[in-house]
Amino acid sequence: MIDLLRPVWPAPSHVKALITTRQGGSSAAPFHSLNLADHVGDDPVCVARNREQLARECRLPNSPFWLNQVHGCEVVSPESANPGCEADAVYSDRPDRVCAVLTADCLPLLITDRLGREVCAVHAGWRGLAAGVIENAIQRFQAPAKELLVWLGPAIGPAVFEVGDEVRDVFLGYRREAGQMFTANRPGHWLADIYALARMRLTDAGVGFITGGDYCTLTQDRLFFSYRRDGVTGRMAALIWRE
């Protein structure tokens, strides 16, 4: 049985949103057990079995629209792009289109509007976050930003996400107040709060409701894959669709 996380938010009931954990699949170590990525070296048979189990247990209306994520800011739609295209967010305003991103420390965001007419899944590592993937995703919506609901899924936590001066400088270039989201750790290195950095950009964009940001993929090893912790590892999936 797959172990899932779901947002607590005021979305209409016909909007379905979830994030998998690492529990409940078929993959062997170091991908144990619910690895959903086919690019990390796992047995393809196990990945296919895990994806079939995901579709069955979550009653997905269609196969997820998987991306080739490149830590950029491109947003695509299943109606105009091909599965496996290079992008880091997928948006749809049509029913039964399952938008999906894969993560293992980067921040997944799930977005819908209060009427549940549009949905989007976003993969935001620090590079994509700095490049504007969140802003690009919001711009795809017809609904105004104040009507959007955003859930921040599991990412690497602020107590362990160490980055160098060059990363902090990128965010300071966006807004000096971003410096408050970094804590000095050792010379030339900082602990970054990717949740706070995302909330700042969402707030600046006028988003009306933001929730989530309560987990740490690196320290909660029983629940989550973590690339920074393990190197060779699996990926969780963040999915959203409307019926």
Say which CATH number the domain at 219 has.
3.60.140.10
- 25 is written with which tokens? 């699949």
Look at the chain and report how many structural domains it folds into.
1
97 inside domain: yes
* pLDDT tens across the length of the chain (243 residues): 999 999 999 999 999 999 999 999 999 999 999 999 999 999 999 999 999 999 999 999 999 999 999 999 999 999 999 999 999 999 999 999 999 999 999 999 999 999 999 999 999 999 999 999 999 999 999 999 999 999 999 999 999 999 999 999 999 999 999 999 999 999 999 999 999 999 999 999 999 999 999 999 999 999 999 999 999 999 999 999 999
| Whole-structure pTM value | 0.97
190 inside domain: yes
Nearest to 148 by CA among 160, 162, 134: 134
- Rounded CA separation 73/63 (Å): 23
150 inside domain: yes
Q: What is the pLDDT of residue 218?
A: 98
240 inside domain: no
Q: What is the pLDDT of residue 216?
A: 98
Please, are residues 75 and 135 in contact by the beta-carbon 8 Å criterion? no
H or E, element range at 16? strand 15-20
241 inside domain: no
239 inside domain: no
Which domain does 196 fall in, by range?
Answer: 4-234
User: CA 74: distance to chain centroid?
Assistant: 14
| pLDDT per position as a tens digit, 111-139 | 999 999 999 999 999 999 999 999 999 99
Q: What is the pLDDT of residue 109?
A: 98
